[in-house]
Structure 1
Amino acid sequence: MVPAAILIKIYNMFTVAQLKAAHSKVRSGADFPAYIREIGKLGVRWYDTFVIDGNSIYYGEGDHAVPTGARYASISIADNCDAAQFRADLLAHQQGKTDFFTFCSDCARSGVDKWVICMDALTCTYYDKAGNEVLVEMIPQ
């Protein structure tokens, strides 16, 4: 049997604790690119964040997936997407005017169901409940 420490090194298997430690350094949108670089070094290839409860699932190589768990009680996502309102709420969040829960509540009200961060493309793509792209943003380096 191979010890877990060796498996983590071989497959670059990140943990929830490592992800939370990296995320704890994010204070505003300005910190986000450094966060992306840090979790990329841990082996994260992409992650999904679900607005319904704030859960994120981080994916790495070899089918490695780490869910962080719900961050708040479930909220309802609007059936129809208001992309203009979403963009305004996103801008406010990126300017540090809202916290994570407020941003997620704004997303839900605007019909944004989830976002996907892709490390290779350095993109953040927001989706509505039907799986349609609402917005694709480039992540600054």
Structure 2
Amino acid sequence: MFTLEQTNEVHDRLGSASTLKDYLLALRALGVLASDSYLTDGHTVHRGADGHEVATEPTHEVFSVATEADKAAMAEQLRLHETGVTSYVEMSRGLAEAGVEKWIFDTGALTIAYYDRAGNVLLSEQI
């Protein structure tokens, strides 16, 4: 079973856009099947086999997630972050305002999927 300390170490070492695939592969090697990151406060729940979970502490102030998703606004927030215009916290605030509740990394499929409050997939991308 993986620990919070192990997942935090992997995040500290590989948790950036340029090393995202290596990050997911390292989490998978620990036994993490998926990681749910919540835009409300930036905490992440790493999920493994047999219901094993560890959760990180919040990483930023609490953001309200819009009840209606706006895919165009979400795409713009992702573009701004990918081009270095916004910080992680600014992107998180913008995604919450666009109705994104969380994203989930699937370490087996090597995907990231963005979800609204109703649990609908707004966008899924291969890493």
TM-score for both structures, normalised by structure 2: 0.91
1:63 partnered with 2:68: no
What residue in structure 1 maps to residue 71 of structure 2? 83
SS at 1:120 equivalent: coil
In the alignment, is residue 104 of structure 1 matched against residue 104 of structure 2? no
Aligned-partner Cα distance in 1 for 2:110–2:2? 19
- Judge which range, 104-113 or 22-31, deviates more: 22-31
For residues 105 and 58 of structure 1, do their structure 2 counterparts lie closer, same or farther at Cα, with a shift above 3 Å needed? same
- Is the Cα–Cα contact under 8 Å of residues 48 and 57 in structure 1 kept in the other structure? yes
The residue number in structure 1 matching 2:4 is 16
What are structure 1's unaligned runs of at least 5 residues? 1-12
Matches of 1:103 and 1:118, distance apart in 2 = 21
2:54, 2:115 → 1: CA distance?
A: 21
Deviation at 1:43, TM superposition (A): 0.8
**How many equivalent residue pairs?**
127
Which segments of structure 1 move beyond 2 Å, counting only runs of 4 or more? 25-28, 94-99
Q: Is it true that 1:39 corresponds to 2:22 in the alignment?
A: no
Larger radius of gyration: 1
Secondary structure of the structure 2 residue equivalent to 1:33 = helix
Structure-1 separation of matches of 2:16 and 2:75:
17
1:108 maps to amino acid: A
In structure 2, what is the Cα distance between the partners aligned to 1:28 and 1:117? 13
What is the distance in 1 between the residues matched to 2:30 and 2:86? 28
Kept after mapping to 2: 8 A contact 1:79/1:129: yes
> What is the alpha-carbon root mean square deviation over aligned residues?
1.5
Q: Which residue of 2 aligns with 1:52?
A: 40
CA offsets 1:40-66 (integer angstroms, 9 cap, x no match): 111100111111111110011121100
Q: CA-to-partner distance for each residue in 1:94-141, whole Å, 9 max, x for gaps?
A: 3333322111101111110111111122111101111111101111xx
Q: 2 CA distance for matches of 1:98 and 1:15?
A: 31
* Contact 2:43–2:59, Cα closer than 8 Å, also in 1: yes
Tell me, yes or no, if the aligned pair for 1:58 and 1:65 is still in contact at 8 Å: yes
2:21 touches 2:110 (CA, 8 Å); kept in 1? no
